[in-house]
Amino acid sequence: MRIAVIGAGALGLFYGARLQKSGNDVHFLLRRDFEAIGSNGLTVYSVDGDFRLPKVNAYQTPEEMGKADLVLVGLKTFANHRYQELIGPVVGEETIILTMQNGLGNEEALAELFDARRILGGVAFLRSNRGVPGVVYHLGEGRLILGEYRQGETALAEQIAPIFQAAGLECRVVPDLKRARWEKLVWNIPFNGLCALLQRPVDALLNLDSTRDLILEIMREVISAGNAQCLMKDIPISFAEKLVSFSLGLGPYRPSMLIDRIEGRQLEIESIFHKPLQAAVRAGVRMPRVETVAALLEATENG
């Protein structure tokens, strides 16, 4: 399968590399890594085994890439206004578009530009970060949940899932992508937000009773808001305790928003905070603690 990776950060490079390693024809749109990967290939240091791709199809503009069968979108969500510019040139009549971005609103924005029937969402559970140009560190997990923009449909997602499974990645299909998105937000909102604000890793927050309790309270707010979104099945309140128990095993893990804050990059506040807050308000639900975290992130966004 001919695959275009648009948004080749740690996520895009990792999944693209695994898909190329398993035999797919993968093409990467690159910025800072272009020269390094063109000269030395792409190296992945992984808990599943290190590997190097000596030859990678690398491009600086989407017009050079040609049409793809599948587009993996790994852009930071504050770049979504560039969807047409970056994705349009690689989309043919039968191209499938899979956004693996964080937060809410990505599938909707893609469906406005392209045929809604070709839009998939991938909820990625991946711990990875970038090293020097041309190097990715895979620290854990990598599993994917695939769903279609059209709630209840699964045929297209079931067509794509085996491609990831053949690359040795856990990938399952769900009929309710919206529910999967809100489940991910139950973790993303408290940990990304609080870790970025306090500039501390996950274990530092969980080691204190006060911040651990706050995390649980925020999680319960997100679950209540998610359950007001016409999901096919409610998220149980006990899901919060389950996620905290899981997170205790992550150690000094630094979520993506913490890394972005430390390195002075823009944060994905709109998709991870504002859009869920707007959805909650439309459903008649308030998330006061989430509102506070969002406001503090905005207030500290420019240092």
Tokens for 104, please give them.
């809410």
Residue 173 has pLDDT above 80, yes or no: yes
pLDDT tens figures, 245-285: 999 999 999 999 999 999 999 999 999 999 999 999 999 99
Residue 302's pLDDT band (cuts 50, 70, 90): confident
Residues near 58 by beta carbon (within 8 Å), at least 6 away in sequence: 28, 30, 33, 34, 37, 38
Q: What is the pLDDT of residue 286?
A: 96
Q: Taking a C-beta distance cutoff of 8 angstroms, is the pair 224, 278 a contact?
A: no
d(CA 185, CA 171): 19
Determine whether 264 is exposed, middle or buried from the number of CB atoms within 10 Å of its CB (0-12, 13-18, 19+): exposed
State yes or no: pLDDT of 201 exceeds 70. yes
Tokens 């969980």 locate to 206
| Residue 76 designated active-site | no
Where does the pLDDT of residue 131 fall: very low under 50, low under 70, confident under 90, or very high at 90 and above? confident
Angle at 142 between CA 247 and CA 24, to 5 degrees: 175
Question: 228 and 283 in contact (C-beta within 8 Å)?
Answer: yes
Look over the chain and give the mean of its residue pLDDT values, rounded to a whole number. 96
- The reported pLDDT for the residue numbered 36 is 95
**Of all residues in the chain, what percent carry a pLDDT higher than 90?**
97
- Tell me which fold the domain 2-175 belongs to: Rossmann fold (3.40.50)
Question: 182: closest CA among 280, 109, 114, 265?
Answer: 280
CB distance 197 to 269 below 8 Å: no
Section 150-171 average pLDDT: 96
pLDDT in tens, 8-49: 999 999 999 999 999 999 999 999 899 999 999 999 999 999
Above 90 in pLDDT, residue 303? no
| Domain over 178-299 is classified CATH 1.10.1040.10 | yes
The 10 Å CB-count burial string (b at 16+, else e) for 98-130 is bbbbbbbbbbebbbeebeeebbbbbbbebbbbb
Domain ranges of the chain: 2-175, 178-299
Task: Give the model's pLDDT for residue 132.
Answer: 94
**What average pLDDT score do residues 121-132 get?**
93
For the segment 47-67, the average pLDDT, to the nearest whole number, is: 96
* Domain 2-175 matches domain 178-299 at the CATH topology level: no
Indicate the pTM of the whole model: 0.95
Mean pLDDT of 66-73: 98
Give the pLDDT score at 109: 97
To the nearest whole percent, how much of the chain has pLDDT over 70? 100
- Helix 239-247 to helix 209-226 angle (10° resolution) is 140
For tokens 């999680």, the residue is 219
**Distance (Å, whole) CA 67 – CA 4:** 8
Residue at token pair 């749109």: 29
Which among 76, 178, 184, 275 is annotated as catalytic?
Answer: 184
pLDDT at 230: 95
